[in-house]
Amino acid sequence: MRNKNHIERHYTKWGYIFIIPFVVVFLIFNFWPLASTFYYAFCYLKHAGNTNPEFLPSIGKPLFKNFTEVFKAKSFYSALQNTFLFFLASTIPEWILAFWLAVMMTDRRMHIKARFIWKLAFFFPKLMSGGILGVSITSTIVGFVANAAGLSAAAMSMNGFGLTEKDMEFVLSVKFIIIVASILLHFGITFIYAVAGITGIPVETFEAAEIDGANRLQTFFKITLPSMRPMLFFITVVSVVDGLGMYDIPSLFGAYDTTRSNLTLMMYMNNQAFQGSYAYDKASAVSLVMLAIYIVAALIVYFLLLRDKDEAKFKKAIRQERRELKRGI
């Protein structure tokens, strides 16, 4: 036994060796920028290309000046509101659609044909959404959605359902178009990961459920979702990161919209830092607010999805036992 332990220990050093590149690059390119962002939030750092931060108390200004400026700005609140609106309103329908389609496509009883083509088609917008093309294809998607919405609005008003243009205003608003476009753009990712998660579940599990007489809804909620929990966690994280950091689509509608109906937190940060005012300090403060939001979201997601309650209980029990053993000795 001791010999085997010795051999194991001989190899464990490779664990440390293999993570060196990751840790080094992480410290330099992720941790250091984050730490300096933290510092800049309490500094004076304005004008383009300025790399000389001055700590606020040292130039006789209150420590939280940048934060108070941010929290005073009305546009910050509309950015906050819009970010959450876009995130929730696009994620929920997208998830329902993606999971429903993923379940239907992988159902053994249905034999959906040409899965390859569907996958390619759904993933297509994301595949194309680089740079110039992203602008072009997103604006054409937006144009398409707007045209469709306009047509249906016109049809409604002509038919005389008692609907006027005013009732349809929301459908034609910037917000609605952004939501629909982001659903269309992001839908493919969720779909592909969901299919990957479902196909990873052994077929026998579904067969057993079928024999026991479970219907499709029961199978989905009681078997499919719990069995793909790590994948579900991954999908949620991708959605949260992409949704709260939404930038590409809203920024198509102009950076300085008067009603701020398209302003998101990312756009607000970008406007502060790299356009016009070059207020790196204020932008750092906004970054920290975003960081706080991400951390709260991460905690919620972690405790809802990834933490295994039984495992945690088990570990706690082991720890207690060990403590009692020690006390006994």
Among positions 256-275, residues that touch another protein (CB under 8 A) are: 257-259, 261, 266, 269-270, 273-274
Which of 295, 312, 317, 318 binds another protein (CB under 8 A)? It is 295
Which of 60, 162, 202, 328 binds another protein (CB under 8 A)? It is 202
Which range binds another protein by CB under 8 A, 60-68, 79-87, 289-297, 318-326? Answer: 289-297
Name residues contacting another protein, limited to 300-329 (CB under 8 A).
Answer: 301-302, 306
Contact assessment for residue 248 and residue 141, using Cβ atoms and an 8 Å cutoff: no
**Angle at which helices 115-128 and 74-106 pack, to 10 degrees?**
160
Binding mask 47-76 toward another protein (x if CB under 8 A, else -) reads --x-x-------------------------
Name residues contacting another protein, limited to 104-163 (CB under 8 A).
Answer: 104-105, 109-110, 112, 116-134, 136-137, 139-144, 146-147
User: Contact between 172 and another protein (CB under 8 A)?
Assistant: yes
**Which residue, 242, 137, 140, 133, is CA-closest to 187?**
242
Binding mask 229-248 toward another protein (x if CB under 8 A, else -) reads xxx--x--xx-xx---x-x-
Contact assessment for residue 50 and residue 273, using Cβ atoms and an 8 Å cutoff: no
User: What phi, psi does 124 have (nearest 5°)?
Assistant: -55, -50
> C-beta of 287: minimal distance to another protein in Å?
5
> C-beta of 143: minimal distance to another protein in Å?
5
* The length of the chain, given as a count of residues: 329
Classify burial at 166, counting beta carbons within 10 Å of its beta carbon; exposed 0-12, middle 13-18, buried 19 or more.
exposed
Q: Which residue has the tokens 């701020």?
A: 260
Which lies closer to another protein via its Cβ, residue 85 or residue 231? 231
Contact assessment for residue 94 and residue 186, using Cβ atoms and an 8 Å cutoff: yes
Which lies closer to another protein via its Cβ, residue 10 or residue 327? 10
User: What phi, psi does 159 have (nearest 5°)?
Assistant: -65, -25
C-alpha pair distances (Å), 1 with each of 7, 22, 181: 10, 33, 61
Which lies closer to another protein via its Cβ, residue 89 or residue 272? 272
Which of 73, 168, 214, 298 binds another protein (CB under 8 A)? It is 298
Strand partners of residue 44: 54
